Structure 1
């Protein structure tokens, strides 16, 4: 389980790549990726996430609330089918753009 962050300061774009299970053990690392960057747009790459639990869902909601961005402005990309199913059941497709 790890998180990598790429910040493109010129375009004010942050890409967060997560590997492994997206859960409670990543709370602090995930928060550090977006705190103090309210003026950036965000893409979260989930290509290497094979599982997301309620803590992972909560982290996404906390990020959405903290950034105060309109629904659909945070993109979740490369979502595996088993993770996409959880996101859709949880109605995250209403708050995030899922690609």
Structure 2
């Protein structure tokens, strides 16, 4: 499991890339990826292209990110989901809370 974060040049967007298993073991690294930034972005992008697995604790971490970003007013996008990850997000009704592409 690897989690990296990269703010955009203007600081308005933060991209968090996840590869490998996205589960409870990623909890601290995922929180650090968005909390330990010098900028306060307007939009968060979670790139799940390399994610091979997602469990209920990962869903909880995404909800914590959404709360951190502003709750109902948050702009959090989940991008590059493979079929298995997309199915988990769909069953959990996350398309009502996040932009999923």
TM-score (norm 2): 0.88
Quote the offset at 1:38 in angstroms. Answer: 4.4
1:15-30 → structure 2 map (5 Å cutoff): 15-30=15-30
Distance 1:82 1:72 in 2: 25
Structure 1 stretch displaced more, 51-60 or 64-73: 64-73
| Count of aligned residue pairs for this structure pair | 99
Unaligned 5+ runs, structure 2: none
Q: In 2, are the aligned partners of 1:72 and 1:95 still within 8 Å (CA)?
A: no
Quote the offset at 1:70 in angstroms. Answer: 3.2
Q: State the match for 2:79 in structure 1.
A: 77
Distance 1:18 1:65 in 2: 19
Quote the offset at 1:69 in angstroms. Answer: 4.3
Q: In 2, are the aligned partners of 1:71 and 1:95 still within 8 Å (CA)?
A: no
The root-mean-square deviation of aligned C-alpha atoms, in Å, is 1.7
Distance 1:45 1:63 in 2: 14
Aligned-partner SS, 2:20: strand
After TM superposition, the runs of 4+ consecutive aligned structure 1 residues lying more than 6 A away are: none
Q: State the match for 2:88 in structure 1.
A: 86
Q: State the match for 2:68 in structure 1.
A: 66
Distance 2:58 2:97 in 1: 15
Structure 1 stretch displaced more, 62-71 or 9-18: 62-71
